[in-house]
C-alpha cells in the first residue's frame, strides 16, 4: 500500500479562488474591502516568512493587509497600545499577532486584548468558549484547515477514532474539540495524547485518523500507525536544511491510506482559513454575518 496524498496546496487554491469571488461580491455590495492587520514583533525568520505569505495571500483574493513590524525590544505596553488602536480602527476587520512573541511579552495578555470580533486567529477566550459550545464565530485556522482536509479527502469521521498528538492551545485542544462536536466532518471519538501519555504507540495504533501536532521532527514512525489510517501531519520542522513534518513521511506513507505532505499539506490551509475568517469578520462588522 502507498498512501494517497492529501494535497493541501491544491485544496487551499480552490478555497482562495472561491474567496476571491466572495470578496468581490462583498465589496460590490458594501463598498468595503476586508482588511487584515498583522503585528510582527522581532526578527524571527520563520515568523517573517509566515507574515509575508499571509500578506501576499490577502492581495491575491482582493483583501487589504497592513503589517506592523516592531523591534524585539518593544515594551508590552506599547504593543497593547497598538492592539487597542487597531481594535478602534473601523477599516481593520481582522487582527493577527504573530507568535511567538519575545520572552518579556506575556502572550496571553496580548491575545486577550484583541477584540473578539477581530480575533481571526480564534485565540480570545470568548471565541474559544463559543467554539467549545458549538456556536463558533470563528474557527481556529490550523484546526479548521485540518477539518477541511479531512472533508475534502473524503475521510469518514462519524464514529471514527481520532488520535491527536499534542495538546497545544493552537492546534491540539481545538482540533480535538472540533472533531468531537455534533455536525459534519465531526462526530468522532477523540483521544488526546501528550508528553505524559503512557504506552503512546499502543494508543496511536488504534487511530483511524492520526493528527500529529507536537513539533518533533519525524517523531511518528510506521510502527505507531495502524495500516490504512489517515495521517494528518501538522508539524513543520527544519532538519538538515530541509523542512519535515512530525511524521516520518516515507515509512508511514507505505502503510497509511492517506497522508498530508510537508510542505504542501496543512500549511496552505491555515492561511486559507485565516482569509475566510477575515471575510467573516468584515461581514460581522457590516452586520451581515
**Strand ranges, E, within 56-156:** 64-70, 94-97
Residue with cell 487511530: 207
Query: Where does residue 158 fall: left (phi above 0), alpha (psi -120 to 50 degrees), or beta otherwise?
Result: beta
Classify strands 209-212 and 189-193 as parallel, antiparallel or unpaired.
unpaired
Cα–chain-centroid distance for residue 218? 20
Question: What is the rounded CA–CA span in Å between residue 22 and residue 99?
Answer: 29
Helix (H, G, I), strand (E, B) or coil at 190: strand
Question: pLDDT under 50 in the chain at which residues?
Answer: none
Assigned C-alpha cell, 204: 496511536
CB 274 within 8 A of CB 146: no
The Cα 227–Cα 199 span in angstroms is 18
Residues 6+ apart with CB under 8 A from 12: 145, 268, 269, 271, 272
Q: Judging by DSSP bridges, how do beta strands 94-97 and 161-165 pair with one another?
A: unpaired
- State the pLDDT at residue 289: 64
Give the three cell numbers for residue 285.
Answer: 462588522
Catalytic (active-site) positions: 54, 98, 121
- The cell for 141 is 485556522
Query: 176 by DSSP, 3-state: which?
Result: helix
Q: Other CB atoms closer than 10 Å to residue 281's CB: what's the count? A: 24
Which residues pair with residue 191 across a beta bridge? 163
Furthest-apart CA pair in the chain: how many Å? 57
Cell numbers placing 217:
521532527
Cell (9 digits) for 145? 484547515
Amino acid at each position: 500500500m502507498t498512501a494517497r496524498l492529501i494535497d493541501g496546496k491544491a485544496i487551499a487554491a480552490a478555497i482562495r479562488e472561491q474567496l476571491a469571488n466572495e470578496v468581490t461580491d462583498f465589496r460590490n455590495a458594501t463598498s468595503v474591502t476586508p482588511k487584515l492587520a498583522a503585528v510582527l514583533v522581532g526578527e524571527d525568520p520563520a515568523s517573517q516568512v509566515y507574515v509575508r505569505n499571509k500578506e501576499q495571500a490577502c492581495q491575491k483574493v482582493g483583501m487589504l493587509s497592513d503589517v506592523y513590524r516592531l523591534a524585539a525590544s518593544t515594551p508590552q505596553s506599547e504593543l497593547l497600545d497598538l492592539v487597542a488602536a487597531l481594535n478602534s480602527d473601523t477599516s481593520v476587520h481582522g487582527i493577527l499577532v504573530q507568535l511567538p512573541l519575545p520572552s518579556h511579552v506575556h502572550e496571553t495578555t496580548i491575545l486577550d486584548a484583541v477584540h473578539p470580533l477581530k480575533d481571526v486567529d480564534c485565540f480570545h477566550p470568548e471565541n474559544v468558549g463559543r467554539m467549545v459550545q458549538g456556536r463558533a464565530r470563528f474557527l481556529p485556522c490550523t484546526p479548521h484547515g485540518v477539518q477541511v482536509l479531512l472533508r475534502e479527502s473524503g475521510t469518514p469521521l462519524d464514529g471514527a477514532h481520532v488520535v491527536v498528538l499534542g495538546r497545544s492551545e493552537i492546534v491540539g485542544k481545538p482540533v480535538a474539540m472540533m472533531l468531537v462536536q455534533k455536525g459534519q466532518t465531526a462526530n468522532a471519538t477523540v483521544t488526546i495524547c501528550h508528553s505524559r501519555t503512557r504506552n503512546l504507540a499502543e494508543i496511536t495504533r488504534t487511530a483511524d485518523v492520526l493528527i500529529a501536532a507536537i513539533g518533533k521532527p519525524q517523531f511518528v514512525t510506521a510502527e505507531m500507525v495502524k495500516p490504512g489510517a489517515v495521517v494528518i501531519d501538522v508539524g513543520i520542522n527544519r532538519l538538515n536544511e530541509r523542512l519535515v513534518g512530525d511524521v516520518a513521511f516515507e515509512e508511514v506513507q507505505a502503510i497509511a491510506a492517506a497522508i498530508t505532505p510537508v510542505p504542501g499539506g496543512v500549511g496552505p490551509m491555515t492561511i486559507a482559513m485565516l482569509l475566510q475568517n477575515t471575510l467573516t469578520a468584515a461581514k460581522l462588522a457590516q452586520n451581515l454575518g
